[in-house]
Structure 1
Amino acid sequence: MKSLMIFIGIYASITAVLSIECYDCESMSDPRCNQYFEPEGVKQTDCDDGDMPEYLHKYERRIKATGCLTKVHEGLDGRRYYIRRACYYGDPENTVEACETPDSYIPFVNIISCTVCTEDLCNVNAELNGGHHAMDYFSKLTLVVATVAALILNNV
């Protein structure tokens, strides 16, 4: 019982300390970033070292990067879609602010989908059908471990 609690504590500490790495591109200036994403040579960002999006500066403190964001907008200049891949800051379960904030490059174009994932370099797929959140296996595993820990603690 005690070893399980130690394992859970170590697991929680490691996941809290590690930063996430995401692809960082937009399809207007980098055609590899489009719906047929080609990750080779695309910029990868350690999100803890990256700049937070402008809309988060109102909080006057650094918000921890917790995931990778993929936003798909209607296209411009004869392109079918405009896609941005970047770091995501904040609660991955509450993506409303990030998804509804207009993109600084194309603030007037309608958004088609917005997804957040929480594993390194997970923002490869672009939902082209209106998806608004994707929870990956790492998040589900964390949720299961936290639930089991809570049940064990209640029975101690």
Structure 2
Amino acid sequence: MLQKHCLFTLMLVSTLYGATSAIMCYECNSQYDPRCGLNFDPFSLALVNCSLKEPPNHLRDLQPEICRKITQKIFGKYRVIRSCGYIKDEVDPEAVADTDKTDGNIRCKKRSGTFEVQSLFCSCDTDECNAAPWSIDIPTKHMILVVTILPSLLIKLIFEFSLQKSS
């Protein structure tokens, strides 16, 4: 009985670990959902597991690696688009212009077009990074996993030990 429980726990842990290795991003467009805008509340919208999404036709062979946040100003109105990304932006530290910014995990490029169009393209490669400046890092996720599973294993062992003792 204990062997079956250990096998089940091992399978559960491996499944959870695999789930935490996929990148989780917010996906929304403030043109259609105002909660996605500049005053974004990360608790108002659900995260998307990017690896479970169907990739665009022209990127079928790629896996999602990053989260994107695009802020556009078009004729004085702002629009924010948050999504999964498939191609990392190449950043050459020697060629970073005044309009480009690299801040730790988040890389941004500012572009201006004609007819009052400005865009800021940002990408990052950790969970929830296209929302707010904070996210749960990998060691914290592992600690949560251990704290969640360890008590159930201890309870199971104590219960089985008391059953064996009473028999």
User: Normalized against structure 1, the TM-score is what?
Assistant: 0.51
2 CA distance for matches of 1:110 and 1:51? Answer: 30
- The answer for unaligned runs of 5 or more in structure 2 is 1-16, 92-108, 110-114, 138-167
Q: Deviations over 1:43-96 (max 9, x none)?
A: 31100011324xxx235x3311111000111247xx7311100001123437xx
Amino acid at match of 2:73: E
SS of the aligned residue for 2:55 comes to: coil
Amino acid at match of 1:120: D
Amino acid at match of 1:45: V
1:26 correspondence with 2:29: yes
SS of the aligned residue for 2:52 comes to: coil
Match of 2:82 among 72, 82, 85: 85
Q: State whether residues 27 and 34 of structure 1, in contact with CA within 8 Å, keep that contact through their aligned partners in structure 2.
A: yes
Q: Deviations over 1:19-57 (max 9, x none)?
A: 10000111011111111111223131100011324xxx2
In structure 2, relative to structure 1, the CA distance for the partners of 1:30 and 1:121 (3 Å cut) is: same
Matches within 5 A, 1:6-155: 18-53=21-56, 57-59=57-59, 61-75=60-74, 80-93=77-90, 110-125=117-132
Structure in which a larger fraction of residues adopt strand: 2
**Could you tell me which residue of structure 2 aligns to residue 135 of structure 1?**
none
Amino acid at match of 2:78: Y
2 CA distance for matches of 1:65 and 1:109? Answer: 32
In structure 2, relative to structure 1, the CA distance for the partners of 1:125 and 1:73 (3 Å cut) is: farther
Structure showing greater radius of gyration is 2
- The answer for unaligned runs of 5 or more in structure 1 is 1-13, 100-107, 127-137, 139-156
Equivalences, count: 97
Q: State whether residues 32 and 39 of structure 1, in contact with CA within 8 Å, keep that contact through their aligned partners in structure 2.
A: no
Amino acid at match of 2:40: F
User: Normalized against structure 2, the TM-score is what?
Assistant: 0.48
| Cα RMSD for the two superposed structures | 3.3
In structure 2, relative to structure 1, the CA distance for the partners of 1:70 and 1:109 (3 Å cut) is: farther
Identity of aligned residues (%): 26
